A and B are shown apart, each in its own frame.
Chain A
Amino acid sequence: MSTHHIQLTVNGQVRAADVPARLLLVHLIRDNFDLTGTHIGCDTTSCGACTVLLNGKPVKACTVLAVQADGADVLTVEGLEQGGQLHPVQEGFTAKHGLQCGFCTPGMMLTAVALLRANPDPTEDEIRWGISGNLCRCTGYMNIVKAIQYAAEKLQVQEAQPA
């Protein structure tokens, strides 16, 4: 098995590793970098618990090789809070009770972050379609939708305020 030296930015920090070619990105994040907020729920790119943002786009890290992330910018759940301030999506999930067991939550939140970047004012249907690659077994999605609506409003207010 060939080993490859890779370097990437994870949550704003430059990280390097020597990895076997077959190592999955999710294992690089969890096992090599000890960022265990990114979870594993299936083997088939179905559940989305392992969703991270790779160069700003949501990917299921169980189906991306670590070597494919060489030179990339990765955002995981641990990078959402900035300077002690929760991301509005994080705030929305707790304010609207968008989580129960918490296992799908990191992946769901990162999908939501990407969704709101692409579509700052989504309809309910757009939110439901937007998160349809992420499975939640606890909430029935009602409050996840509300959490994302909460975040959308908050982000729009922030956007409107002069920096």
Chain B
Amino acid sequence: MPDVNGLGHSMRRKEDPRFIRGQGNYIDDLKLPGMLWLDIVRSPYAHARIKNIDTSKAAKIPGVLGFVTGRDLEKYNLHWMPTLMSDQQMVLPTDTVKYQSQEVVGVIAADRYAAADGVAAVEVDYEPLPVVVDPHQALQPGAVKVRDDKDSNRIWHWEVGDPAATAQAFAQAATVVKEKIYIPRIHVASIETCGCVADWDAANKHLTLYMTTQAPHAIRTVLALVAGHVGLSEENIRVVSPDIGGGFGGKVPVYPGYVIAVAASVLLGKPIKWIEDRSENLAADSFARDYHITAELAADKDGRITAMRMDTVADHGYSDAQAAPSKFPAGLFHIATGSYDFQTAYLAVDAAYTNKPPGGVAYRCSFRVTEAVHAIERMVDILAHERGEDPAAFRMKNFIKPEQFPYKSAFGWEYDSGDYHKALRLAMDMIGYEDLRREQAEKRARGELMGIGLSSFTEIVGAGPSKHFDILGIKMFDSCELRVHPTGKAIARFGTKSQGQGHETTYAQIIAEELGIPAEHIKVEEGDTDTAPYGLGTYASRSTPTAGAAGALAARKVRDKARKIAAHLLEAAEEDLVWERGKFHVKGAPGRSKTIQDIALAAYTNHPQGLEAGLEAVHYYDPPNLTYPFGSYICVVDIDRGTGQVQVRRFVAVDDCGVRINPMIVEGQIHGGLTQGFAPALMEEMQYDENGNLYGGTFMDYMVPTAVESPKWEVGETVTPSPHHPFGAKGVGESPTVGAPPAIANAVVDALWHLGVRHVDIPLTAPKIWELLKRHGAALEE
């Protein structure tokens, strides 16, 4: 019998054997008989009227078989679709295009080369229209109106907190700091782009949609709701999410390409494959962030934070196509009071339409937590520096104390557990904080620029409790269906969908811990809506807090039934049985025992009369609260006065995600997440010119870090279990992406504060820092 490999074991991943042999099954690997290709004509303009679409030349190209336009879809009222925020988005336009790279015509062909030829030969006559790119301008009276179906560019205004009490606290404060902080538009840039194969079976009115989605069940329901009137019925829709080459939130939304592929399959009666190329992926979908925050923080004379105020403009592009819980249009942005103990705060967000692609997705982020954490961690640092206090000591003074948990934040969140002091102390010990401060002072005296930056973040994940959390009305529970086979092996299916997180391994370990069946003997499946139980999918670090919990509780239900069977086999009363992992024994007689494997066999061969045969359970887990992972990161940077180049010399990350299932996988997630935090801090940004043209839509100019730029991460851990999760876990995937950017930004400002620099927006590129050094007389120029 192999090791059980329950919680806390770094067992090798069960998904690796296929991936290291090139035997993964990603969307573009799928080939169906008779399959045709879809490629898409896209708009070169950010705003234009379509005067004419001429497909006659394209139609003559060998292999080109058909076209799908907005007018074609309009006949079925399928030229529009709802976004996950109940806004609307064009599938294909009938009159105007609203962003550069918007889908205009679908071209169907026999192979991918012919489809591309067809795209090149379609002639579209556009009349360019005025463009609004800046969300602040978009909100001004008289601005170019982005949406014909709306009164203005203001999508919504949302606020939380007490504005009057906050104003009063600011009036009475000893120190007030205020800063404009921009969190730039970035892109998930998973190495696999998006795509699908739509397979319509006309005889049976059945659609199979193989698709790069993080949330297959929700997609099935949305399809049934949107296309029910043309004959798509939910029992006849099967969504299959195959192996996913990275998701990070970018594979949550429904992009027009998927819908065009479905429409084309229905119209032509053939399977249709659509695979984005990299430029389409970068230019047209899954942008994230783009928050313009004005933040203020107040402190009393002792340097205790008393109040916070944030006013934010959110750029959503041409449609509010983010994927946030419907009750919270700005997501969980109001976690922005962070790790600090104060009870007066006010936060407002105005969302704007602009002529840019719709969004924005929660990129490795629990719905705007990244934006919130960047704002509060920058402001706390500014406040500490302004008062001449050490940023670490200032944080320690203002942290919520361990004995205050569960802690109700100013905006009403109930933080489940935490020990922020312990995590920061560990990070300081690991990096040698005091020595670094001494080194910094010496270097500064010599004119060298060295900075030390901290970030002590609180995350909010595991969405979520059904009383507050839904997507399009569907509550954000998640699920597990567990079946134990007669030979003591098991299969477990979940409503989530791994995109590299290693669910096939970690979910098996959860059930192994609960039942004592070796993880190696537990097969985990996700992503096929015909077989997996309903769930809301994998994003927002919710898999372990929700589906992982469902797995544990399904296993406990199985254990409850196993107890009845064991009592029958051992001829003992149920209450006289003692569970030790993997078997029941009779109290006081450890020799009289039955293993879970014995019991599984009996469940099919010798089950007690009056009890159902079989050994299986389903659990739908509705979490009682969110979980609140946290951590403290410390970053050391050196800045080259000759070039403005920022070098991350060291980076210590202490994470507390509660109980860890597979420490190897957790550490891997932290490494990757830190790198995805490093990237926007120093390299990545999607920029647009005043005409709405994207500067660069390829990997030649969207700078994803390579092994050379990426720092050598030093990781540490503390463990503060979640009190309400079945086995104390909290979720970890996003913490590092959320926590890393402010640590790096704080380090850079720390290096430059004595020059008079108070804030720099990320990304902290060499040209930007170089300009700053010149402005403050610190650049070394020949």
Q: Is B190 an interface residue (CB 8 A)?
A: yes
Q: Is B668 an interface residue (CB 8 A)?
A: yes
Since A99-B19, A137-B704, A141-B710 are in contact, a sample of 12 more A-B pairs with Cβ atoms closer than 8 Å, ordered by chain A residue number, is A22-B113, A30-B28, A42-B698, A47-B278, A77-B21, A94-B16, A97-B665, A102-B18, A129-B708, A135-B704, A139-B668, A143-B671
- Tell me whether A139 and B192 are in contact in the complex, defined as CB-CB below 8 angstroms, given that A41-B278, A95-B12, A132-B708 are known contacts: no
Q: Do the beta carbons of B21 and A78 come within 8 Å of each other?
A: yes
For this complex, 21 residue pairs linking A to B, each with C-beta atoms less than 8 Å apart, are A31-B31, A34-B31, A36-B28, A38-B22, A41-B192, A47-B699, A47-B704, A77-B20, A77-B22, A93-B16, A94-B16, A97-B668, A100-B501, A101-B247, A102-B19, A102-B20, A102-B24, A103-B26, A140-B674, A141-B706, A144-B707
> With the chains together, A132 CA to B704 CA distance in Å?
11
> With the chains together, A128 CA to B675 CA distance in Å?
14
Q: Do the beta carbons of B708 and A100 come within 8 Å of each other?
A: no
Q: How far is the CB of A163 from chain B (nearest CB, A)?
A: 25
Q: Is B712 an interface residue (CB 8 A)?
A: yes
> Which residues of B have CB within 8 Å of A31?
31
Q: Do the beta carbons of A140 and B189 come within 8 Å of each other?
A: no
Interface residues of A in 6-21 (CB under 8 A from B): 20
Q: Which 9 A-B pairs have the closest CB atoms?
A: A37-B22, A103-B245, A101-B500, A102-B19, A46-B699, A77-B22, A140-B675, A140-B671, A100-B500
> Which residues of A have CB within 8 Å of B24?
37, 102-103
Q: Do the beta carbons of A137 and B191 come within 8 Å of each other?
A: yes
Of B21, B499, B501, B671, the contact of A139 (CB 8 Å cutoff):
B671
Q: Do the beta carbons of B21 and A101 come within 8 Å of each other?
A: no
Q: Do the beta carbons of B192 and A101 come within 8 Å of each other?
A: yes
> Which residues of A have CB within 8 Å of B712?
142
> With the chains together, A113 CA to B100 CA distance in Å?
41
Of A43, A94, A109, A141, the contact of B13 (CB 8 Å cutoff):
A94
Q: Is B219 an interface residue (CB 8 A)?
A: no
- Tell me whether A142 and B713 are in contact in the complex, defined as CB-CB below 8 angstroms, given that A100-B672, A101-B499, A137-B190 are known contacts: yes
> With the chains together, A128 CA to B708 CA distance in Å?
5
> Which residues of B have CB within 8 Å of A139?
668, 671-672, 675
The chain A residues found within 8 Å of chain B, CB to CB, are: 20, 22-23, 27, 30-31, 34-44, 46-47, 49, 76-78, 80-81, 86, 90, 93-95, 97, 99-106, 109, 127-129, 131-145
Q: Do the beta carbons of B193 and A41 come within 8 Å of each other?
A: yes
Q: Is the interface of B mostly helix, strand, loop or mixed?
A: loop
> Which residues of A have CB within 8 Å of B611?
none
Q: How far is the CB of A109 from chain B (nearest CB, A)?
A: 7
Most buried by B among A38, A77, A102, A136: A102
> Which residues of B have CB within 8 Å of A35?
22
Q: Do the beta carbons of B191 and A41 come within 8 Å of each other?
A: yes
> Which residues of B have CB within 8 Å of A140?
671-676, 710, 713
> With the chains together, A128 CA to B706 CA distance in Å?
8
Q: Do the beta carbons of B707 and A20 come within 8 Å of each other?
A: no
Most buried by A among B13, B112, B499, B699: B699
Q: Is B246 an interface residue (CB 8 A)?
A: yes
> Which residues of A have CB within 8 Å of B16?
93-94, 99, 102
> With the chains together, A90 CA to B113 CA distance in Å?
33
Q: Do the beta carbons of A101 and B708 come within 8 Å of each other?
A: no
> With the chains together, A109 CA to B19 CA distance in Å?
11
Q: How far is the CB of A129 from chain B (nearest CB, A)?
A: 6
> Which residues of A have CB within 8 Å of B123?
none
Most buried by B among A47, A132, A138, A141: A138
Of B245, B668, B673, B674, the contact of A102 (CB 8 Å cutoff):
B245
> With the chains together, A40 CA to B667 CA distance in Å?
27
Of A23, A34, A132, the contact of B706 (CB 8 Å cutoff):
A132
Q: Do the beta carbons of A43 and B707 come within 8 Å of each other?
A: no
> Which residues of B have CB within 8 Å of A105?
19-20
> With the chains together, A36 CA to B28 CA distance in Å?
8
Q: Is B490 an interface residue (CB 8 A)?
A: no
Q: How far is the CB of A75 from chain B (nearest CB, A)?
A: 11
Q: Do the beta carbons of B246 and A94 come within 8 Å of each other?
A: no
By beta carbon, the residue of chain A nearest B676 is: A137
Of B23, B500, B664, B699, the contact of A37 (CB 8 Å cutoff):
B23
> With the chains together, A44 CA to B696 CA distance in Å?
12
> Which residues of B have CB within 8 Å of A132?
706-708
Q: Is B244 an interface residue (CB 8 A)?
A: yes
Q: Do the beta carbons of A37 and B676 come within 8 Å of each other?
A: no
> With the chains together, A94 CA to B13 CA distance in Å?
7
Q: How far is the CB of A65 from chain B (nearest CB, A)?
A: 13
Q: How far is the CB of A140 from chain B (nearest CB, A)?
A: 4
Q: Do the beta carbons of A137 and B699 come within 8 Å of each other?
A: no
> With the chains together, A139 CA to B279 CA distance in Å?
23
By beta carbon, the residue of chain B nearest A89 is: B20
Q: Do the beta carbons of B113 and A94 come within 8 Å of each other?
A: no
Q: How far is the CB of B526 from chain A (nearest CB, A)?
A: 14
Of A23, A47, A106, A145, the contact of B707 (CB 8 Å cutoff):
A145
